[in-house]
Amino acid sequence: MKSPASTRTPVSVRAERADTDLQDDVPPRGGQAAPRSLRMWRPLRIPAHQDTSARVRGVYPFLAEGNLPTAGVYVGRDLYSGGAFVYDPWVLYAAGVITAPNLVIAGIVGAGKSALIKSLYTRSIPFGRKVYVPGDPKGEHSAIAEAVGGKAIILGHGLRTRLNPLDSGPRPAGISEPEWEAMVGARRLDLVGALAETMLTRPLTPIEHTVIDRALNQVVAQAETPILPMIVDRILEPGPEQDARLADDGRMVGHALRRLVSGDLQGIFDGPSTVTFDPALPMLSLDLSRVANSDALVSVLMTCASAWMEAALLDPAGGHRWVIYDEAWRLMSQPALLRRMDAQWRLARHFGIANALLFHKLSDLDTVGDAGSAMRAVAASLLANTETQIIYRQGADQVGPTTLALGLTRTERQLLPTLGVGQGLWRIKGHARVIEHHLHPEEMRAFNTSNRMTGP
């Protein structure tokens, strides 16, 4: 330490005085004079410091709550303040707290992620919000959809339900007939292209785009509502009037799509739709539990479901809608779906939707693309740029990667392994809370996913 003479800062002056006082007033222990030092055994008195909660929460994040709007659906109890906690992404957006209404929920298996999102969306339906689950690999949202007056679309082998990806869907209000025709044409082209890409597991070449476009135009000229087998036939046998080379150029696309209508994946897309997508219902869920073991089918079905939803979202009177991606790690591993998700993340504000992404751990992202690939970067930015992050309990090995990916503070990091079922760290654009989600007994019954484990 430098000599007191050379560093006569206010601190050292006070320390010297304290030492002098100590010698004058109280005999040191053992009767010996204490050496002049900066040590002092008197209770340290620091004047109380007052500041705004906005500043203090930088130091004590959970004790000094920032002001969040008090409107929204009830979630549960703030574990530090004991106060009630409410959440509504649209209210937070309107109050200027967040600039995009999307949220992510991460946590170990059985932490209560799905129960939380089910509470959030069912509790917000009475306030006029609608819910869309474009892919539910476990089928756990189907019963809830029926219970709230919505519909679950269940598709799978051996069922009589059919889904025609070329359906035009309901025309949104405020769009003229010619505009709608052009939009339906573009959507069909986009959708058949996306289905072919998924089956080929590679992007289409420009020639293959042309092949699909030609086939679609011919089929639409013949049938008002085309179905996929017609397109496949046209691609594989373009007819004498077509350039002979087109048949060769389209062989790969034709055979890839053929798998959906007469190959191992037949029985879902090969006829007119028996189910309708009614955007007026309070909740719609696409149940993928019957096809969950086929990544190709999950991907194809979700691509169709997203395309329908995008059409419904164009309706300016469509209102606010939750879009739930439960078990998102499965869905994110499909490049075509990840690209769609990313687009919807960006358009959330524009369409009035709040996307919710549920997954287990940050290392689930390792299943997305190759290390350093563009897909991996898209997935990482999807999480990092989401302004509402709800982190449930994490395994000890996941605390490091989660901290790194989401930029958690030390206090937040230490909290993660200690959280119980239904307890989570909520980070809402700089506000951090530890919230215990409360379930009503009826909700507990309806949302229970442990029946198979705890039942007889």
Ligand X SMILES: Nc1ncnc2c1ncn2[C@@H]1O[C@H](COP(=O)(O)OP(=O)(O)OP(=O)(O)O)[C@@H](O)[C@H]1O
110 forms part of the interface with ligand X (CB under 6 A): yes
What is the number of other CB atoms lying within 10 angstroms of the CB of residue 341? 24
449 forms part of the interface with ligand X (CB under 6 A): yes
185 forms part of the interface with ligand X (CB under 6 A): no
Q: Which residues, in sequence order, are CB contacts of 31 under 8 Å at separation 6+?
A: none
Strand-by-strand arrangement of the 423-428 sheet = 84-87, 73-78, 431-437, 423-428, 388-391, 103-106, 353-359, 321-325, 130-136, 283-287, 151-154
Which range touches ligand X (CB under 6 A), out of 103-111, 120-128, 158-166, 218-226?
A: 103-111
Q: For residue 148, give both structure tokens.
A: 């709230």
Q: For residue 442, give both structure tokens.
A: 């009826």
Task: Tell me, by CB under 5 A, how many residues bind Mg ion.
Answer: 1
> Minimum CB separation from Mg ion for residue 112, in Å?
8
> Minimum CB separation from ligand X for residue 289, in Å?
13
Q: 116 vs 194, which CB is nearer to ligand X? A: 116
Query: Residue 89: enclosing H or E segment and its boundaries?
Result: helix 89-94
What is the number of other CB atoms lying within 10 angstroms of the CB of residue 18? 14
> Minimum CB separation from ligand X for residue 437, in Å?
4
**Which does residue 134 touch among ligand X, Mg ion, none (CB within 5 to 8 A, set by kind)?**
none
Burial (CB count within 10 angstroms: exposed 0-12, middle 13-18, buried 19+), residue 125: middle
> Minimum CB separation from Mg ion for residue 111, in Å?
9
356 forms part of the interface with ligand X (CB under 6 A): no
Rounded Cα distance, 3 and 25, in Å: 25
Exactly one of 79, 91, 113, 333 binds ligand X (CB under 6 A); which one?
A: 113
Which of 280, 386, 370, 270 shows the shortest CA–CA distance to 328? 386
> Binding string, 59-98, against ligand X, x = CB under 6 A?
----------------------------------------
299 forms part of the interface with Mg ion (CB under 5 A): no
> Minimum CB separation from ligand X for residue 299, in Å?
20
Q: For residue 72, give both structure tokens.
A: 């929204």
Interface with Mg ion in residues 88-147 (CB under 5 A): 114
> Binding string, 400-439, against ligand X, x = CB under 6 A?
---------------------xx--------------x-x
User: Where do we find the tokens 């289409």?
Assistant: 204
One-letter amino acid at 275 equals: V
Task: Tell me, by CB under 6 A, how many residues bind ligand X.
Answer: 16
Site of interaction with ligand X (CB under 6 A): 107, 109-115, 360, 421-422, 437, 439, 448-450
Site of interaction with Mg ion (CB under 5 A): 114
